[in-house]
Amino acid sequence: MEVREKLYIAGAWLAPSGDGVAEVTDSATEEVIGRVPLGDPKDVDRAVAAAKAAFPEWASVAPAERAKYSTRIGEALMARMGEVATLISREVGMPFALSQMIQVGLPMTTFSSMADLVDQLLWEEQVGNSIVVKEPVGVVGAITPWNYPLHQVAAKLAPALTAGCTVVLKPSEVAPLSAFVLAEIVDEIGLPPGVFNLVSGLGPVVGEAIAAHKDVDMVSFTGSTRAGRRVGELASATVKRVALELGGKSPNVILEDAPLEAAVANGVAMCFLNSGQTCSALTRMIVPRSRLSEVEDLAVQAAEEYTTGSPFEDSTRLGPLVSATQRDRVRSYIAKGIEEGARLLTGGPEAPDGAEKGYFVRPTVFSGVTSEMTIAREEIFGPVLCIMAYDTEEEAIAIANDSEYGLAGGVWSADVEHAKQVARRIRTGRVDVNGGTFNTLAPFGGYKQSGNGRELGKFGLEEYLELKSLQL
């Protein structure tokens, strides 16, 4: 049992103002595996005050020296990889081997990349009679989700620290345990007090207090579009900078000449990763009507290979969802798809065979999905694939762009140059061409209601910097 009773503020573990507690549940067994304190606005005030006090001295440290702390965090995470991956697999449900590679591996890479990025950035330049300098934005409030609980923290914390900002972090109360391990690491490596502060708690309480706080200069939020709107609304009162990484309903356009076996198998994998609990999941597979039956057969075959079970069983390819609430939500979307006339090819709203406990959902594939259907428009956040047919390439692009979201996408073609041309016409922040792999140095973020701002690489680092011109 992971029991955490204190918050990390001003370089020390301090008792929270109140006595509220959040229980953390094992998503496969439904057992309580941890408890963390629920902070309140008084705790946010303490944390923000500590961050504000620490900011001037931290901002004066050379960027390369600041980056060394990120390197040490990355090294410490590597030493505790098994422990952290186990915590996240139990919280979120991702199979353990993938948790090591993704849930811990990606944060390690992000923290470790900062030293190189510092050298790539032009921190000062002469423009006519001006010197243009880049300076840290100030105190950053970071509010992170449960689906990639440590990766999303790293995507904010590593660049913010390297830029010279100080940080107040509110992790998701659903999967908070890795954030407490991170705070232990921060304490062990000797990051100056107040540079990093951790206040766990509920979004409507701690999250809203951070977003509205007059001494928070920037808020970076990852989560649902609905919650992102609320963050933006609260932040607008103090005209602070806002970065939002929100929902997605990402299209995967398979062109007429695409290698179907590879394209469909990859598409199913990119929809079902982390049991579909991925904001950039390729949930809409847009395919030529002339090849629809082939795609359907291949998709069913691929989906039925995603065996459900404990994240710690080698045979498991699809773990549970994070909570009973999320499981019930996803099952209701599956039922809605059937109700609205989509053809259920495999899966369904019933519990998988043998899943008496745990928040499991059957890997599900629909075909005959149209853009008007709920399952084609709303983010489901579960292992549910929607196959949508088109007759012309122009129609395929129109379907791809017919969404309130614009986070990610995919294009498949035997002709890479043609695929790139189509990719440029898809209105999303990222497009995978022929299964191109995730790049932690490329910008990540969305168009439209998928948010604004970018994370990762030098682009993410620049989000935490202000521009100042000195006229000579």
Looking at the fold, whether 334 and 350 belong to one and the same domain comes out as: yes
Domain membership flag for residue 435: yes
Contact 86, 95 (CB under 8 A): no
**The tokens of 7 are what?**
């918050």
Looking at the fold, whether 207 and 313 belong to one and the same domain comes out as: no
The domain in which residue 407 lies consists of 251-440
Q: Is 245 a residue of the active site?
A: yes
Domain membership flag for residue 381: yes
Tell me, what's the pLDDT at 190? 96
Domain membership flag for residue 28: yes
Q: Would you say the C-alpha torsion 319, 322, 324, 328 has a positive or negative sign?
A: negative
pTM as predicted: 0.97
Which residues, including other chains, have CB under 8 Å from residue 253's CB and lie 6 or more apart? Answer: 286, 396, 397, 400, 409, 410, 411, 412, 422, 426
Looking at the fold, whether 460 and 427 belong to one and the same domain comes out as: no
Domain membership flag for residue 161: yes
Looking at the fold, whether 307 and 196 belong to one and the same domain comes out as: no
Q: Is 165 a residue of the active site?
A: no
Looking at the fold, whether 266 and 235 belong to one and the same domain comes out as: no
- Distance separating alpha carbons of residues 94 and 277, to the nearest angstrom: 9
Looking at the fold, whether 207 and 257 belong to one and the same domain comes out as: no
- SS3 of the chain: CEECCCEEECCEEECCCCCCEEEEECCCCCCEEEEEECCCHHHHHHHHHHHHHHHHHHHCCCHHHHHHHHHHHHHHHHHCHHHHHHHHHHHHCCCHHHHHHHHHHHHHHHHHHHHHHHHHCCCEEEECCEEEEEEECCEEEEECCCCCCCHHHHHHHHHHHHHCCEEEEECCCCCCHHHHHHHHHHHHHCCCCCCEEECCCCHHHHHHHHHHCCCCCEEEEECCHHHHHHHHHHHHHHCCEEEEECCCCCEEEECCCCCHHHHHHHHHHHHHHHHHCCCCCCCEEEEEHHHHHHHHHHHHHHHCCCCECCCCCCCCCECCCCCHHHHHHHHHHHHHHHHCCCEEEECCCCCCCCCCCCCCCCCEEEECCCCCCHHHHCCCCCCEEEEEEECCHHHHHHHHHCCCEECCCEEECCCHHHHHHHHHHCCCCCCEECCCCCCCCCCECCEECCEECCECHHHHHHCCEEEEEEEC
Domain membership flag for residue 318: yes
Tell me, what's the pLDDT at 343? 98
Domain membership flag for residue 58: yes
Looking at the fold, whether 153 and 280 belong to one and the same domain comes out as: no
Sheet holding 7-9, edge to edge: 12-14, 7-9, 196-198, 166-170, 139-143, 218-222, 241-245, 451-452
Q: How far apart are the first and last CA of the chain?
A: 61
Using alpha carbons only, give the angle 39, 159, 6 rounded to the nearest 5 degrees.
20
Tell me, what's the pLDDT at 354? 85
Report the number of distinct structural domains present in the chain: 2
Looking at the fold, whether 185 and 241 belong to one and the same domain comes out as: yes
Domain membership flag for residue 445: no
Looking at the fold, whether 339 and 295 belong to one and the same domain comes out as: yes
Domain membership flag for residue 274: yes
Looking at the fold, whether 21 and 141 belong to one and the same domain comes out as: yes
Looking at the fold, whether 267 and 234 belong to one and the same domain comes out as: no
One-letter identity of residue 18: G
CATH assignment of the domain containing 263: 3.40.309.10
Tell me, what's the pLDDT at 163? 98
Looking at the fold, whether 224 and 107 belong to one and the same domain comes out as: yes
Tens of pLDDT along the chain (472 residues) come to 999 999 999 999 999 999 999 999 999 999 999 999 999 999 999 999 999 999 999 999 999 999 999 999 999 999 999 999 999 999 999 999 999 999 999 999 999 999 999 999 999 999 999 999 999 999 999 999 999 999 999 999 999 999 999 999 999 999 999 999 999 999 999 999 999 999 999 999 999 999 999 999 999 999 999 999 999 999 999 999 999 999 999 999 999 999 999 999 999 999 999 999 999 999 999 999 999 999 999 999 999 999 999 999 999 999 999 999 999 999 999 999 999 999 999 999 999 988 889 999 999 999 999 999 999 999 999 999 999 999 999 999 999 999 999 999 999 999 999 999 999 999 999 999 999 999 999 999 999 999 999 999 999 999 999 999 999 9
Q: Which of 245, 296, 455, 463 is catalytic?
A: 245
Q: Which of 279, 296, 455, 463 is catalytic?
A: 279
